Amino acid sequence: MMADLPDRDAAVLEYVSSDSGIRLFVITNSADGATVRVYPIAVPAAQLSDQVTRFARQIATRDLGFRALAATLHRELIEPASELLRGKKTLVIVPDSVLWTLPFQALETPRGRDLIEDHALFYTPSPTVLHAMLASGRGSRSETARC
């Protein structure tokens, strides 16, 4: 199934919330096959929910003070996997819970850039849906380019 990633320059970032906390599953594909790594998200779920809600509100109201929270959320949600994401051009985001309301593309990288400036991003409800879309030809590069 993971051989069906859009390409080797892509990574799937799946966030899973549970009673024991939030985990980030990162799936990449290389010549050696699929790699899956799990990273715990250190921020408690309630705190993360508050941060995401505030950030979404800041973006919606065009609050120019959003950059600090954009950097914090990037550090908490993306940077744990930064080594595995190095060189990846496309990030497939599989959010869970409140993360569905987070505009990942606006998160600020350590270089002061929006995440969307360094990676193409798209969302999917699950790796299974991604697999089905790619297998059926929907979501292919040629179809995406026409949109």
Q: Assign 142 a pLDDT band (cuts: 50, 70, 90).
A: very low
**CB–CB of 51/69 below 8 Å?**
yes
> Dihedrals φ, ψ of 89, to 5°?
-95, -25
Residue with tokens 């908490």: 76
Distance CA 23, CA 15 (A): 6
**CB–CB of 6/30 below 8 Å?**
no
Name the helix (H) or strand (E) containing 10: strand 10-18
Residue 1 has pLDDT above 60, yes or no: no
Q: What pLDDT, in 10s, does the model give residues 108-123?
A: 999 999 999 999 998 8
**Segments forming the whole domain that contains residue 6:** 2-146
Pairing of strands 33-41, 90-94: unpaired
Q: Assign 67 a pLDDT band (cuts: 50, 70, 90).
A: very high
3-state secondary structure 24-92: EEEEEEECCEEEEEEEEECCCHHHHHHHHHHHHHHHHCCCCCHHHHHHHHHHHHCHHHHHHHCCCCEEE
Beta bridge mates, 64: none
| CA angle, 78 then 61 then 97, to 5° | 40
Q: Assign 138 a pLDDT band (cuts: 50, 70, 90).
A: low
Counting the structural domains of the chain, the total is: 1
Sheet with 21-30, edge to edge strand ranges: 33-41, 21-30, 10-18, 90-94, 120-123
Cβ atoms < 10 Å from Cβ of 15 = 20
